Amino acid sequence: MSAQRADGTIERRVPVLIVGGGGSGLTASLALSDLGIESLLVERHPSTSVQPKAHILNARTMEILAHHQVADDVYREGAPPENCGAMVWLTSLGGDAPYDRKVLYRTSAYGGGDLAAPYAVASAQPHANLGQRWLEPLLRRHAEQRGPGSLLFHHELLDLEEDATGVTASVLDRSSRDKRIFRVRASYVIAADGGKTIGRLRGIPMEGTPTFLEWINLHVRADFSPFIPYDDAVVNRVSSLSDDGTLEHCGVVPMGPDRWGRHSQEWTLMFSRAPGATGATDLDDETVVKMVRRTLKLPDDHPMDVESISRWPVEGTVAQRFRAGRVFLVGDAAHRHPPSGALGLNTGIQDAHNLAWKLAHVLAGTAGEALLDSYEAERRPVAQRVVERAVYSLFNQIAFTAGTGVVHGARPEWNRAQMTALFSDTPDGETRRTVLREYFDTNRITTAHLGLEMGYEYGDAGFVVPDGTPRPPTDPLGLEYRQTARPGARLPHAWLRRREQRVATHQLHTAPGSFLLLTGARGDAWLRAARDLAARLDIRIDAYAVGPDGALQDIEGIWTRLRGHDDDGVVLVRPDGFVVARHLAHCPDPSPALEAALRVGLGRPEGC
C-alpha cells in the first residue's frame, strides 16, 4: 500500500481510494476487502458519527450485510423485533387538554408487526433497527479487521488530479501537529463524502429540488416511558396543538442502545422549519430545546439531557452524473432527500454494494472497463425514484392535518374545538376518527413500501441478456412486490433444501464476487458448461441443479413457481444478487450461451 519516494510526492498507492467514512464508505471498504481488493478510506472527522441519524436497515440492505458477514452483529446490537414494528402518531407526551396524550393512529411499519409475514415471503433477512451512531463503529470494526491500516480518520481530501492511468489525491492529515499533506495514487475513487468535496471538484451539479426545509435533530437522554403508550413503536410522531392553535410536529425515535422501545435510554427528537429568517440556523440551542419541550408538552420538571443538536438542509436532489472518469459517487454524494421512508442510508449501502463487485472484477482483469458504465445506468434511476418518493412522503405525512379539522391560521379556539370534537365520545367524534384513519392510511407509502425497497430492476441498463418476457406490472404506490427471475430483477427469495439444511437462494453465493447458476432437474449440461467456463475465464461460478436428484431440492415448490423456466432451463445471477440471464427451456449448446451471458454481465465484448 505504501511507496515512499525521496521527495515525498507519493506516499500511498492503492487500487481504490474511498473518501468518506459513513455507512456507504465503510460498506465499500469492507466489501472491497472481501473481494480481495486493497483500498484506502479517508474521513475528515476524527470518528464515526456522533449523531444517531438514520436507523432503519431494510431487508435488502440486511441481505447485503449478511453476504458480508455483518448482519448477525447488527441484529445483536440493534433493537429486538418486538421493539421495532410500528409507527404511532400521538397528540402529545404530556398536557391535560381533552385532546392531549391521545393516539391519533397506529400502523405496522418497515417490515414489522403485520408486515412481517409479507416481508418474510420476499427475503430471508428481516429488517434491523440500529442508529448510525452505533452502526458505523460496527462497520468500521469489520472494515479494519479485514483491511488493517486501510482506514484513516481525521484525514481530509483536498484535491484530485486525474490522468490516463489513475487519480492522484492530496490528503491532509488533520491529526498531525504540523497538518501534514501527502498524496495518494489510486486507480479509482469512490466518493462517499456526502457531497462535501468531490462533487464540487469534479464539477457535478445536483439536480432537483434545492433546500426547502431545515431539519433539526436532538440527541437526548431521557426516560419517556411514562408518556409513550407502546413498546413496539420504531417511530413516534407527535402532532400537538400549541397555545396559539398551531399544529406542531416532532418525531420521537427510540435509539436504545441497551433497552429499546418505550424504555430506551437515548432518543432522537426531530422537527423541521421553513428556511429563512426563522429557520433552523437562526435558532440557538436553548430556543430549540424550549420549542421541543413545548411541542411534546413535557412536564417542566421532567429531566431531559441534550447530548447534541444538529441542523441540516433538506433537499430532494440527484447528481447529474454518478461517474466522472475514474470517480464514482455513492450515498449522499449522489442523492439527497428527506428521511421520510428510511431510504437514504439503505440506498447508499446498496450503491456501494453495486459498485464494489464491478470494481473488483475490472481490477482483477475478469471484467471489461465498460462494466463500470453500468453503475450510473443502474443506480441513478433507483436514486431518482427514491428521492421523488421521499419528498412526496414527507408532505404526505402531514396531509392528515386536514382530517383533524385544524386549519392553519384559524383562531386558536376554533382549532381547539376541532381537536376536542375529534376525541369526543359522540357519533360526530366517531365519524371524525373514521375519516382521519382514511387520511392516515395514505401514509402506508412511507412505512410499507416493499415494492420500492425490493422491486427496482436493471433490465434497461444494457448489462443483462433479455429473455423476451414482458416486465411484470408494478404497483405505482410501491407497496406490493412481485418476485420474478426475469433478467435485471433481483433474484427471487425462496427456501431450498441442501442435504439436511434449509438455505435461502440469496445465501447460495459462497463468496463475494461469485456468480450463481441455478438450473433445473435436467441441467447437467449447464453445470458442465459452468465448470469449464469458470476455469477458462478465471471466474467463480457457484452452480447447482434444483430438482429431486439435484444438489438442491425445492421442497416447498416456491422456487419452481418463481424461476419462470422448465427443468431444462437456467438462471444466471450476478455477484450482487441480480439476474443477468435466463433460459426458459432446452438449449442445444449451453456452453456458448452461458459464455455470451457472462460476457454481457461482465462488460466484456466478444474476443476480450
Distance CA 228, CA 476 (A): 34
Q: Looking at domain 453-601, does it have CATH number 3.40.30.120?
A: yes
List, for residues 437-464, the tens digit of each pLDDT value.
Answer: 999 999 999 999 999 999 999 999 999 9
Least Cα distance to 121 among 441, 386, 480 occurs for 480
CB < 8 Å & 24+ apart, contacts of 113-120 = 113/85, 113/86, 113/232, 115/85, 115/448, 115/450, 116/81, 116/85, 118/450, 119/59, 119/450
Give the confidence band of 277 by pLDDT, cuts at 50, 70, 90.
very low
DSSP at 448: -
Domain boundaries defined on the chain = 1-54+131-205+321-367, 453-601
Least Cα distance to 87 among 118, 114, 57 occurs for 114
**Which amino acid appears at position 282 of this protein?**
D
Q: Which helix (H) or strand (E) holds 106?
A: strand 103-108
As beta bridge partners, residue 250 has: 238
* CATH architecture, range 1-54+131-205+321-367: 3-Layer(bba) Sandwich (3.50)
Least Cα distance to 64 among 40, 36, 28 occurs for 28
Helix (H, G, I), strand (E, B) or coil at 89: strand
Cβ atoms < 10 Å from Cβ of 286: 9
pLDDT score of 118? 95
List, for residues 297-323, the tens digit of each pLDDT value.
Answer: 999 999 999 999 999 899 999 999 999
pLDDT score of 184? 97
To the nearest 10°, report the CA torsion of 481, 482, 488, 493: 90
Distance CA 371, CA 111 (A): 34
**Sequence-ordered list of residues with C-beta below 8 angstroms from that of 84, at least 6 positions apart, any chain:** 56, 78, 110, 112, 127, 129, 232, 234, 260
Q: Mark residue 405 as left, alpha or beta (left: phi above 0; alpha: psi -120 to 50; beta: remaining).
A: left
User: How confident is the model over 491-498, as a mean pLDDT?
Assistant: 97
Give the confidence band of 281 by pLDDT, cuts at 50, 70, 90.
low
Per residue, what are the HEC states of 223-282?
Answer: CCCCCCCCCCEEEEEEEEECCCCCEEEEEEEECCCCCCHHHCCEEEEEEEECCCCCCHHH
Phi/psi at 374 (nearest 5 deg)? Answer: -70, -20
List, for residues 43-92, the tens digit of each pLDDT value.
Answer: 999 999 999 999 999 999 999 999 999 999 999 999 999 999 999 999 99
Among 94-98, 211-215, 228-232, the range scoring the smallest mean pLDDT is 211-215
Helix (H, G, I), strand (E, B) or coil at 472: coil
The pTM of the full predicted model, rounded to 2 decimals, is 0.95
| Upper half-sphere CA count for residue 101 (Cβ side, 13 Å) | 15
Give the confidence band of 607 by pLDDT, cuts at 50, 70, 90.
low
Helix (H, G, I), strand (E, B) or coil at 307: strand
| Upper half-sphere CA count for residue 128 (Cβ side, 13 Å) | 26
Instruction: Please report how the helices 23-34 and 344-364 are oriented relative to each other, as an axis angle in degrees rounded to 10.
Output: 30
Distance CA 153, CA 450 (A): 36
Distance CA 16, CA 39 (A): 5
Distance CA 253, CA 296 (A): 13
Distance CA 10, CA 284 (A): 45
pLDDT score of 5? 44
- Residues across the chain: 608
- Residue for cell digits 484525514? 155
